Amino acid sequence: MTVSQLHRHTLPNGLRVVLAPDSTSPVVGVSVHYDVGFRSEPEGRTGFAHLFEHLMFQGSESLEKLAHFRHVQSSGGTFNGSTHPDYTDYFEVLPSAALERALFLEADRMRAPKLTEENLRNQIDVVKEEIRLNVLNRPYGGFPWILLPPVLFDTFPNAHNGYGGFEDLEQATVADCAAFFDTYYAPANAVLTVAGDFTVETALALIEKHFGDVPARPRPQRPSFAEPPPAVEIRADHPDPLAPLPAVAIGYRIPDPIDELDSYIAYLVLAGVLTDGDGSRLQQRLVYGDQLVTEVNAGCGMFGPFEARDPDTFTITAMHTPDVDVDTVLSAIDDELDKLASTPPAAAELAKVTARWAASLHKEHDRIVSRTLALGAFELLYGDPSLVYELPDRISAVTPDAVAAAAKALRPDSRAVLTVSPAGDHE
């Protein structure tokens, strides 16, 4: 698959279209990304973007509940949706003969999902059960993606719980849903991506047929969610009755992933140098050498890289035994960052990290669902889906000095430190 095979088109109603034909296997991926995530949900309505994602699967004005599921599965396809800080995506992967079916289904719910009191109450209960399962009744539930942002950030969009609080979810109304749909689910606020086995002419004709008459609405103005980084180290503790071991998450602010992409990518490479594989710096020092932690990880973004606009986060997480003091762990991490800042890593050390990244990206984009979603997300966030294919080279071009500069910027006097304490520590 090459950049030259990408085709971009915009319908009169504002819907952006990305087409990536590839006839190597008889399947197609179809996705729709809407430019709204949980950072855009209103105060007092935590979890609303995710709740609305659920509602988009509850039928439409022309299809009954579960019809979407039935039509996709009877075609031999799979489907899902997910909510992120800055977008919500929906997708299907089907045999290529079923392309029109997927386009019809996505256009149908873009036009008019079934927003009823019954559907809303039902999905509030489903989301609450999801939260019980994934957060409240699970060790380290919400660690660090729910628990760290309110320590690192001050503003509601960046700091609040994107899964939602039960009280906020229960107060959601059908009128709230209708207003959210009207504002954010406009064609001009969305990207449709089709990847796989099709011809461009056929796909465009089907897209015009199904999406062309979806009524145009204004694209909402997206506010800036920028806020200054912390001026001191901020600490907080979260007691977890289910956690078997103490844990720590360190959060740092990093360059704008959109406007400073190459600086941002340097932090991805730094994360690899620190924790990717047994030979990485923090694995060697913290796990095998000083034996301070049982595991350690680092990365960009609460959900992974390239999933959010500014502000984004660099995180280091570790689990350690109760006899190890968290300040000992922090000191060892700071020491390794200082070493990297003063002595840039050798080219061979970087080459291992960048080769791993390139291999994982090629493997990921070989899967039709991953490729479809990546192209849609990069069109939405960056206005350039071809960046997906440039990433391995951009990552390989990161220099030792850039990694050293990234390490130097991760300062102890401008970070959030969240500790998770097992219940026994609070008795």
For residue 345, the tally of other CB atoms under 10 A from its CB is 22
Q: Going along 158-246, which residue ranges are E strands?
A: 190-196, 234-240
> CA-to-CA distance for 321 and 294, rounded, in angstroms?
7
First to last CA, the chain: 58
The β-bridge relationship of strands 190-196 and 16-21 is: parallel
Q: What is the pLDDT of residue 3?
A: 57
Q: Quick check: is 216 in a domain?
A: no
Q: What is the mean pLDDT of residues 122-142?
A: 96
Cα–Cα nearest to 249, from 307, 290, 282, 296: 296
Q: What is the mean pLDDT of residues 204-221?
A: 97
Instruction: Specify the 3-state DSSP secondary structure of 320.
Output: strand
**Model pTM score:** 0.96
pLDDT in tens, 290-333: 999 999 999 999 889 999 999 999 999 999 999 999 999 999 99
> CA-to-CA distance for 73 and 63, rounded, in angstroms?
15
List the structure tokens of 314.
Answer: 């660099």
pLDDT in tens, 166-188: 999 999 999 999 999 999 999 99
> CA-to-CA distance for 38 and 281, rounded, in angstroms?
34
How far CA 65 is from CA of 31, 54, 211, 258, 363, in Å, comes to: 20, 12, 21, 38, 36
Same domain as 172, residue 136: yes
Cα–Cα nearest to 332, from 277, 290, 375, 369: 290
Domain extent for 327? 234-344+399-426
Cα–Cα nearest to 357, from 257, 256, 252, 271: 271
Q: What is the mean pLDDT of residues 409-418?
A: 97
Q: Quick check: is 414 in a domain?
A: yes
Q: Quick check: is 190 in a domain?
A: yes
Same domain as 51, residue 132: yes
Instruction: Work out the mean pLDDT of the chain and round it to a whole number.
Output: 95
Same domain as 239, residue 206: no
Same domain as 194, residue 91: yes
Same domain as 241, residue 196: no
Same domain as 183, residue 96: yes
For residue 152, the tally of other CB atoms under 10 A from its CB is 28
Q: What is the mean pLDDT of residues 60-68?
A: 89
pLDDT surpasses 50 at 427:
no
How far CA 123 is from CA of 47, 57, 118, in Å, comes to: 12, 10, 9
Q: What is the pLDDT of residue 66?
A: 86
Q: Quick check: is 387 in a domain?
A: no
List the structure tokens of 152.
Answer: 């690192």
41 secondary structure, DSSP code = S
How many CA atoms within 13 Å lie on the side-chain side of 4? 0
Q: Quick check: is 86 in a domain?
A: yes
Q: What is the pLDDT of residue 65?
A: 87
Q: Could you give the percent of the chain with pLDDT greater than 90?
A: 95
CA dihedral 222, 224, 225, 226 (to 10 degrees): 160
Q: Quick check: is 364 in a domain?
A: no
> How many domains are contained in the chain?
2
Q: What is the mean pLDDT of residues 55-67?
A: 91
List the structure tokens of 119.
Answer: 């559907």
Same domain as 123, residue 258: no
> CA-to-CA distance for 336 and 359, rounded, in angstroms?
27
pLDDT in tens, 71-100: 999 999 999 999 999 999 999 999 999 999
Is cis: bond before 144, omega within 30 of 0?
A: yes
pLDDT in tens, 290-300: 999 999 999 99
Q: What is the pLDDT of residue 424?
A: 61
What pairs with residue 249 in β-bridges?
Answer: 317, 418
Same domain as 263, residue 117: no
Please state the separation of Cα 22 from the chain's center in Å. 26
Same domain as 266, residue 131: no
Same domain as 120, residue 69: yes
Same domain as 142, residue 255: no
Q: Quick check: is 376 in a domain?
A: no
List the structure tokens of 270.
Answer: 């730094």
pLDDT surpasses 60 at 2:
no
How many CA atoms within 13 Å lie on the side-chain side of 259? 5
Q: What is the pLDDT of residue 261?
A: 96
**In terms of pLDDT, which residue wins out, 200 or 362?**
200
300 secondary structure, DSSP code = E
Reported confidence tier of residue 348, pLDDT bands at 50, 70, 90: very high
The CATH number of residue 153's host domain is 3.30.830.10
Q: What is the pLDDT of residue 423?
A: 75
Same domain as 194, residue 330: no
How many CA atoms within 13 Å lie on the side-chain side of 188? 13
Task: Give the DSSP letter string of 102-146.
Answer: HHHHHHHHHH-B---HHHHHHHHHHHHHHHIIIIITSTTTTTTTT
Q: Quick check: is 195 in a domain?
A: yes
